[in-house]
Amino acid sequence: MSWPGRLRGLTGLSATGRGLTGRGLTGRELPRRPRPYRVLVLGGARSGKSVTAERLLAGRDRVDYVATGALPDAADPEWAARVRLHQQRRPPHWATLETRDLERVLAAPDLTPGQLATPVLVDCLSTWLAGVMDDCGLWSGAPGADKALAARVDGLLDAWRATRRTVVAVSNEVGSGVVPGTASGVRYRDELGLLNTRVAAECHQVWLCTAGIPRRLR
């Protein structure tokens, strides 16, 4: 099974349905002048969190959209459908970066003034974590997997704190639903909950989307 498919098994994520959200958001909720500014948008599956994040950056001349999920292929049509939906919704002048190297995107020392002035939208931390857990060998029980995962998460948090860019990150809130039926599902839920908590603690704004309605928590 591909890791996008494994992610759906862990969390119950689905690629079906089209949510509408962000009603009332204008893009003026965030500072317009380039500056370090960190925002987290949380929500359950199909809650409208991605659309909310996109609308928070509405009207920007340029946005670096960081897609952290696996590249779509014919082996997983449901994942490919989800990716197509996000691509079709994206403004054509936004740049898409397909990478899990968030440390470099957020805080590389050689970022140019133009890059520093360009907001970043990370969609999403949930797929980033699932991919990193796979890279570290968590699912196969590789030696040192726990230590490798902790290092990757710490590296992301260091870059999140140090970034000089405006960044909006999307993540799933998976702790309020059904208790996962597998040990791997429980581990993923717990790791994502801890990651969300640590990221939120370093944010200027935190939003929660429920049933298509975004609400600012901070």
For the entire predicted model, the pTM comes to 0.85
Cross-sheet strand order for the sheet of 37-43: 95-98, 64-67, 120-123, 166-172, 37-43, 205-210, 213-216
Distance of alpha carbon 48 from its chain centroid, rounded?
13
Catalytic residues: 86
Q: What's residue 19's pLDDT?
A: 40
Domain boundaries, the chain: 40-216
For 55-100, write each residue's pLDDT tens digit.
Answer: 999 989 999 999 998 665 566 667 556 666 666 677 889 999 999 9
Pairing of strands 213-216, 37-43: unpaired
> In terms of CATH architecture, what is 40-216?
3-Layer(aba) Sandwich (3.40)
Of the listed ranges 30-39, 46-55, 165-174, 176-185, the least confidently predicted one is 176-185
Q: What's residue 60's pLDDT?
A: 93
Residue 171 β-bridge partners: 42
For 3-23, write each residue's pLDDT tens digit.
Answer: 455 555 555 444 333 344 456
